[in-house]
A and B are shown apart, each in its own frame.
Chain A
Amino acid sequence: MGDVMYDVIIVGAGPAGLGAAVYTSRDRLKTLILEKLMPGGQIANTDRIENYPGIGRIDGPSLIEQMQKQVENFGAEIKTGCEVTSLEKLQDGNIAVYCDKDKSTARTVILAPGSNYRKLDIPGEEEFRSAGAGVSYCGTCDAPFFKGKQVVAVGGGNTAVEETLHLAKFAGKVTMVHRRDEFRAAKVLVEELLEKANGPNSNLIIKYSTVATAIEGQGKVQSIKLKDVKSGREEDYQCDGVFIFIGMEPNTGFLKGFVELTEKGFIKCDCAYLRTSVPGVFVAGDCRIGATMQLVTAVADGVIAAMMLKEYFRDPNWWSEPVSDILQPHGW
């Protein structure tokens, strides 16, 4: 990449990073997006998006493909297979971004590395996951391997309900294990779930107020230990696979020592302009404090960062200014 100076380097090509790039590249800012895998992030794992305003229903990969085309048409450059390992604030105020030894430099950075599956941290989970022996975090990916089999799905949020409904199309029997006594997922999804569970010859069972405490088996998953949190009673529940849908955690390990993070690894920012602790470095999407972990808000974050970086170009001292009561800052 040599001596090219970018106006902005965006770390991560999920909805937040691509949302930012639509604005920066359309604004003719020289934009580079670094992505460790392919564009998409978590949204590429879903086959059903129906909460993106204006779009009735679309699958994740199609939406991402369109976003990617859009930013590339505006001139943004996307480098895939390029995992950012460290960043450095340079003497001249610019920021160096390293993918191992490969260095790129920009005037500003938008951090949009997203999040990854949260784990239950119970015995057997990692062992069976890493062996590909029956523990999965992606129903869309692995449901077809459990045709006619018995699976347990753990969780109670939107993704958990969607993925469980997907599993029920393949598995012989799905048992959904939820630690609370009611669901916090969107009502429309909960209604669909309950209708399916209460229907005739249903292959879907819901266990409320129940937690998983261990996954067991010889060489592959054969059972899960379930505990009723009200009675304290434990049981060994037979199954061929365990799907875990209990939310996400931020992908920010590589940022330790560069920007300020919370104890749980979220990037600290001002939540209005998305400024981090390092001048010129913005954050967008799932990995910031206060993130709602939604497609729409990730995209919106990207757009906020993309607009606010012009304020920083105008005056670097803006970084330490309080959030303004001027509705339309300079240059819009």
Chain B
Amino acid sequence: MEQGKPVNVSDSDFEAQVVKSEVPVLVDFWAEWCGPCRMAAPVLEKIAQQYQGRLKVCKLNVDEARQTAVKYGIMSIPALHIFKDGTVVGQIAGVTPNFESDLKKKIEPHLE
């Protein structure tokens, strides 16, 4: 796994990268045409770097990885789901006004 940077995932490697990950994973469901998704990108990069080794950050393009997006009932993007031991333990929908701190509050309880 590449350390400290968001990893792109698809339908085919979602299981291996996210569900079976040994560390908690933050998955960003996003798309090219979504302005807020693009705006959220630098915050996710920052989080990937800050929590390096304790949290994996993955990006899933909902246009390309449709099956996974449907499976997790995505209706609004950006959607950020926190996976631990294969299950969703927390989520944030949309870019909230204090996005970075809101995200950290959701993530921290699930880290070792």
Q: Give the nearest-CB partner of B75 in chain A.
A: A145
Residues B93 and A129 in contact, CB atoms below 8 Å apart: yes
A297 at the interface (CB under 8 A from B): no
CA distance A132 to B36 in the complex (A): 14
With beta carbons under 8 angstroms apart, the residue of B45, B75, B95 that contacts A134 is: B75
Stretch at the interface among B18-26, B51-59, B98-106: B98-106
B77 contacts A141, CB within 8 Å?
Answer: yes
B74 touches A145 (CB 8 A): yes
**Are A37 and B99 neighbours in the complex by a CB distance under 8 Å?**
yes
- By the criterion CB–CB under 8 Å, are B97 and A251 in contact? yes
Check B98–A83 contact: CB distance below 8 A.
Answer: yes
In-complex Cβ contact of B101 among A83, A133, A142, A241 (8 A): A83
Chain B contact residue count (CB 8 A cutoff): 30
Contact with B along A157-198 (1 / 0, CB 8 A): 000000000000000000000000000000000000000000
User: If the complex has contacts A83-B101, A145-B76, A220-B75, are A138 and B94 also in contact, measured as CB distance less than 8 A?
Assistant: yes
Whether the pair B74, A44 counts as a contact (CB closer than 8 A) is no
With contacts A61-B35, A220-B75 known, is A81 near B94, CB below 8 A?
A: no
Q: In the complex, which residue of chain A has the Cβ closest to the Cβ of B34?
A: A141
* Most A Cβ at <10 Å: residue of B31, B46, B73: B73
A132-B93 contact given A83-B100, A83-B101, A145-B75, CB 8 Å threshold:
yes
Question: A249-266 toward B: CB 8 Å interface, digit per residue (1/0)?
Answer: 001010000000000000
- Which of A61, A130, A146 is within 8 Å of B92, CB to CB? A130
The interface centre, meaning the residue of B34, B40, B46 with most chain A CB atoms within 10 A of its CB, is B34
Instruction: Provide the bound-state CA to CA distance between A242 and B37, in Å.
Output: 20
Which of A46, A140, A141, A220 has the most chain B CB atoms closer than 10 A to its own CB? A141
Residue count of chain A within 8 Å CB distance of chain B:
34
Q: Which residue of B lies closest to A60 (CB)?
A: B35
Partner of B42, one of A37, A116, A132, A241: A37
Chain B residues whose CB sits within 8 angstroms of the CB of A81 once the complex forms: 42-43, 45-46, 100
A225 touches B (CB below 8 Å): no
Within residues 38 to 53 of chain A, which ones have a CB less than 8 A from any CB in chain B?
Answer: 38, 40, 44-47
Known: A81-B43, A116-B97, A132-B93. A241 touches B35 (CB 8 A): no
Q: Which residues of A contact B95 (CB under 8 A)?
A: 37
Query: Contact partner of A129 among B38, B41, B94, CB < 8 A?
Result: B94
The answer to the question of A108 belonging to the interface, with a C-beta cut-off of 8 Å to chain B, is: no
Say yes or no for A80: interface residue by CB 8 A criterion: yes
Q: Which residues of A have CB within 8 Å of B41? A: 38
* Interface residue from A37, A135, A146 paired with B39 (Cβ < 8 Å): A37
Cα distance A133–B40 in the bound complex, in angstroms: 20
Closest A residue to B93 by beta carbon equals A132
How far does the alpha carbon of A138 sit from the alpha carbon of B94 in the complex, in Å?
9
- Give the docked Cα–Cα distance between A36 and B103 (Å): 13
Cβ B100 vs Cβ A36 within 8 A: yes
CB-CB contacts of B43-67 with A at 8 A, as 1s and 0s? 1011000000000000000000000
B79 within 8 A of A: yes
Give the complex CA separation of A131 and B80 in angstroms: 10
Contact A140 B99 (CB under 8 A): no
Min distance, Cβ B49 to any Cβ of chain A, angstroms? 10
* A contact set with B: CB distance below 8 Å: 36-38, 40, 44-47, 60-61, 80-81, 83, 116, 129-138, 140-142, 144-146, 220, 241, 251, 253
Residues of B within 8 A of A (CB): 31, 33-43, 45-46, 73-77, 79, 91-95, 97-101
Across the A-B interface, give the 4 residue pairs with the lowest CB-CB distance, nearest first. A132-B93, A44-B35, A81-B42, A37-B39
